[in-house]
Amino acid sequence: MTRIALLAHESDEIQDSNYLRLANAALAREIPVTLCFMEGIGMSAGRVWANGFGLNAAITPGEPFPACRRVFLDEFDVVWVLSLGMRQSFLDKMQILFTLPRTTRVVNSLDALMHFKSKYFTASHGDVWQHPQTWASCDPGELYAVIVREGGRFVAKPPAASFGRDVFVIDADDPNRHVILESLCGPDADRYCLLQRYVPEVRHGEKRVLIAGGRVVGQYLRVATRDHRTNVLQGSRAEACTLTRDELEYCNRIGARLLQYGAQFVGMDFCNPWVIEFNVVNPGGITTIAELTGEDLAPAVLQNVLNLPG
């Protein structure tokens, strides 16, 4: 029988998040689940361990976390990463997880967690999906030269941030253009910044499409209300929506390609025909869609990712 370890973000109490819904979906199918914390993983005598606790019954939001014990991750068939913890130790955690035996399946793959978290990968597969033109540099002068040379509006943002933080729309006439680029690149020009051609269609909304096991399982629409950002945590409005037949076929083709890189559970930000970015660490959408439609997609995500019978 498949045994699953969910690596989640540690908090004071259980939250209504992906780990809760996926854990309960697994327990409903009598699949053993252990909930672990990503931030505390370590290595002992060459074996990877985490602090966690086994689940015997469904969990609910607001419950305190039970007492934890050290568990060795090589004892599980599936290790599902739903948090990266503190950014400063991201590389260490990836390298520690890389030492797990090949018989332990990591969801999403370490390749996907490492490379899809940034926006570079999205810009490099024009044969499969359309993506706005993208430039990257740690030199603010170089990036400003792109704006002047190319003309028009651009989105400036960090390559690996999330939740819509530090995302700006600028052009050559913006009085804050220099300070924005300098701030994103850092005082010592030691950070990278992305410039992405602004997609005007996003004013009408951007769809978050959930893809599990290479197939679309659900979607919802995000419409910016306060500024240009469509992130729900930045105040955008979420609405239930559907995909056209062409959009569904397009997204499923993308999902099939993502599977080749081990990206098995992905939240894709999509403004047809543009793919804006992929979210692979802890893709938001399950709880939002449940709030909008009453449908819990966690069982479908679990079924597709683990190739379980219907």
Tokens matching residue 35:
């909930």
How many whole angstroms separate alpha carbon 85 and alpha carbon 82? 9
Given the candidates 3.30.1490.20, 1.20.1250.20, 3.30.470.10, 1.10.565.10, the CATH classification of the domain at 133-198 is: 3.30.1490.20
The model's pTM: 0.92
Please give the CATH architecture assigned to the domain spanning 4-107.
3-Layer(aba) Sandwich (3.40)
Tokens matching residue 180:
């924005």
Given the candidates 3.30.470.20, 3.40.50.1220, 3.40.50.1240, 3.40.190.80, the CATH classification of the domain at 203-306 is: 3.30.470.20
How buried is residue 128: exposed, middle or buried, by Cβ count under 10 Å (0-12/13-18/19+)? Answer: middle
Question: How long, in residues, is the chain?
Answer: 310
Could you check whether 4-107 and 133-198 share the same CATH topology?
Answer: no
Cβ–Cβ under 8 Å, residues 270 and 201: no
* Cα dihedral 10, 13, 18, 23 in deg (nearest 10): 100
All structural domains of the chain with their residue ranges:
4-107, 133-198, 203-306
Provide the residue-wise pLDDT of the chain in tens; the chain has 310 residues: 799 999 999 888 999 999 999 999 999 999 999 999 998 899 999 999 999 999 999 999 999 988 899 999 999 999 999 998 888 899 999 999 999 999 999 999 999 999 887 788 888 888 899 999 999 999 999 999 999 999 999 999 998 765 557 889 999 999 999 999 999 999 999 999 999 999 988 888 899 999 999 999 999 999 876 554 455 454 578 999 999 999 999 999 999 999 999 999 999 999 999 999 999 999 999 999 999 999 999 999 999 999 999 8
User: Phi first, then psi: what are they for 196, rounded to 5°?
Assistant: -130, 130
